[in-house]
Amino acid sequence: MFDNLSLKLDRAFKTLKGQGRITEVNVATTVKEIRRALIDADVNFKVAKEVTDTIKEKALGQQVLIAVSPGQLLTKIVSEELTELMGGTKSEIEIKGDPAVILISGLQGSGKTTFSGKLASMLKKQNRHVLLTACDIYRPAAIDQLKVLGEQIGVEVYAEPENKDALDIAKNAIKFAKANNKKIVIVDTAGRLAIDEEMMQEITALKNGLNPSETLFVVDSMTGQDAVNTAKTFNERLNFDGVVLTKLDGDTRGGAALSIKTVVNKPIKFISTGEKMEAIDIFHPDRMAQRILGMGDVVSLVEKAQQTFDEEEAKRLNKKIRKNQFDFNDFLSQLEQIKKMGNIKDLVGMLPGMGKALKGIDVDDDSFKPIEAIIKSMTLKERQNPDIINGNRRKRIAAGSGTSVQQVNNLLKQFNDMRKLMRTMNKMGGGKRGLANLN
Ligand code: GDP
């Protein structure tokens, strides 16, 4: 996410390397580089200028302490200013009413339907009773898409394929929700490829007719400044409450994330980083700024792990590790859990310094495929007792999984090293606490 911007900002800070103090001259050079980095990332020109002027002013107004270098001081200032630029603090959605209505707006293809499913899934995990409503009266496929998502996450979907009145469908959905003890109704609406008057009238009528406690505007971050302009137009008509930025897993440059709050004056509330239902995050401006600056986002990583990891499963694995019984079945189960957490590259990118290190390297879910194929080609006995996997078995497993004997050997070696490490940790007695951290 925002790899290029991170690299360029890093380069900007390097211009201060070896400088003992901040001066008009060296700050001017660095700030110019920062401004260029922001504009290259498709940040609105006016926004980039304003923020860099503030950065310069603050840098010159601060005494450099002995403990920090000018580069470090400037990194801190930039981090604070980027945080401000993106809204300062996180903004919650308003869930009020019986049922509470959340209206989802945006252009076609922005990711509305996918996001509706993700939000429903997130709320369901908080034990809320949610109803999804399909109000796209133009594309029957959109209704099916929402139904598939609903089934996947276990949330009921209300639809009336024959009804061509979106407001009427939504009102019926609310009645249905009341009768069926659903406390939140998420209304997924129709979009067009570009803004048109008819769409604007329809979405405005929905908002006026439903009186939602939260209206969200979903926008594809890959569209850069267009995203900001579309947000502006929608907001003028709809006066929405918050923005959802989607497709941040692609190589977006960051412009939309950094400019929207200033231009539209509405906070970003959620970000979406993939097609999977779990790839949704509440937007934290400070964490995002730290990620952009390559400071990592360990807090988000830990939270994600806590949400996704199945605690019972973690306990079970912990017990097996303590008894030196960890086998390939357990390994496979751990891989599954990691995959559930979302896009692998993004996860690793949350670790400090890793974003940079990973630039240009392709790590994704596919990287796990050969490993899974190898394990799945083992017999149950082999998975439970890898020591019996001799030369002939290795050849058979390689052929069965479409990999090479070399790849099988590598995996077996890694697995053995891992088991050795687990044994050592167990022997050290720090097992209980130490291994708990592994999960
Ligand atoms: P809608 O027309 O606004 O309802 O958009 P959809 O929800 O149908 O999404 C359009 C396409 O974008 C689909 O192929 C989605 O799978 C994909 N999509 C949605 N959100 C994301 C995201 O955060 N990342 C990626 N990579 N794809 C997404």
254 labelled as ligand-binding?
A: no
Taking the C-alpha atoms of residue 354 and residue 243, their distance in angstroms, rounded to an integer, is 28
Centre of ligand 1 to C-alpha 407, Å, is 35
pLDDT value of position 338: 72
Centre of ligand 1 to C-alpha 153, Å, is 17
Residue 242 in tokens: 């918050």
User: How does pLDDT run along the chain (439 residues), one tens digit per residue?
Assistant: 777 888 888 888 888 777 777 788 888 988 999 999 888 888 888 889 999 999 999 888 776 554 567 777 788 888 889 999 999 988 889 999 999 999 999 998 899 999 999 999 999 999 999 999 999 888 878 899 999 999 999 999 999 988 989 999 999 999 999 999 999 999 999 887 777 888 889 899 999 999 999 999 999 988 888 888 999 999 999 999 999 999 988 777 778 888 889 889 999 999 998 888 988 999 999 888 887 877 666 556 656 666 666 667 777 777 877 787 888 888 888 777 777 766 666 666 665 555 555 555 555 667 778 888 999 999 999 999 999 999 999 999 999 999 999 999 988 988 887 787 777 766 665 434 333 333 3
Neighbours of 53 (CB within 10 A): 12
pLDDT value of position 438: 34
249 labelled as ligand-binding?
A: yes
pLDDT value of position 431: 39
**Residue ranges, CATH 1.20.120.140, the chain:** 3-85
Q: Which of 174, 97, 100, 179 is nearest to 133 (CA)?
A: 174
- SS3 for 45-101 is HHHHHHHHHHHHHHHHHCCCCCCCCHHHHHHHHHHHHHHHHCCCCCCCCCCCECCEE
Residue 289 in tokens: 């700024």
Produce one character per residue of 298-312: b if its CB has 16 or more CB atoms within 10 Å, e if not. Answer: eebbeebeeeebeee
Fold of 303-438: 434 Repressor (Amino-terminal Domain) (1.10.260)
Taking the C-alpha atoms of residue 111 and residue 249, their distance in angstroms, rounded to an integer, is 13
How many angstroms separate the Cα of 139 from the Cα of each of 157, 161, 169, 231, 246? 16, 9, 15, 23, 21
Q: What is the dihedral of CA 421, 423, 427, 433, to 10 degrees?
A: 70
- Which of 112, 113, 114, 143 gets mutated to test ligand 1 (max ligand atoms within 8 A of its CB)? 114
Q: How many residues in the chain?
A: 439
pLDDT value of position 292: 80
349 labelled as ligand-binding?
A: no
Residue 187 in tokens: 């209304």
Residue 3 in tokens: 């790899």
Report whether 170 contacts 202 (CB < 8 A).
no
The helix-helix angle for 112-125 and 140-153 (nearest 10°) equals 20
In CATH, what number does 3-85 get? 1.20.120.140
- Rounded to whole angstroms, the maximal C-alpha distance in the chain is 72
Pairing relationship of beta strands 280-282 and 268-272 according to DSSP bridges: antiparallel
Centre of ligand 1 to C-alpha 255, Å, is 19
* 3 state DSSP class of 250: coil
**Residue ranges, CATH 1.10.260.30, the chain:** 303-438
Degrees to nearest 5, angle at CA 91 with 88 and 93: 170
- Which of 275, 278, 283 gets mutated to test ligand 1 (max ligand atoms within 8 A of its CB)? 275
Residue 215 in tokens: 């209206």
How many angstroms separate the Cα of 298 from the Cα of each of 209, 252, 283, 419? 43, 22, 15, 26
Query: What's the CATH number of domain 100-294, 3.40.50.150, 3.40.50.300, 3.30.40.10, 3.40.50.2300?
Result: 3.40.50.300
Taking the C-alpha atoms of residue 115 and residue 103, their distance in angstroms, rounded to an integer, is 12
Taking the C-alpha atoms of residue 212 and residue 171, their distance in angstroms, rounded to an integer, is 11
* 3 state DSSP class of 164: coil
109 labelled as ligand-binding?
A: yes
pLDDT value of position 432: 40
How many angstroms separate the Cα of 228 from the Cα of each of 42, 107, 217, 223? 10, 13, 11, 9
**Residue ranges, CATH 3.40.50.300, the chain:** 100-294
pLDDT value of position 159: 92
58 labelled as ligand-binding?
A: no
Q: Does residue 70 have a cis peptide bond before it, meaning omega lies within 30 degrees of 0?
A: no
pTM, to two decimals: 0.72
- Residue of the nearest CA to atom 23 in ligand 1? 247
pLDDT value of position 193: 74
Identify the residue whose tokens are 């592994």.
438
Ligand 1, CB cutoff 6 Å, lining residues = 106, 108-114, 191, 246-247, 249-250, 272-275, 279
Neighbours of 212 (CB within 10 A): 23
Report whether 185 contacts 116 (CB < 8 A).
no
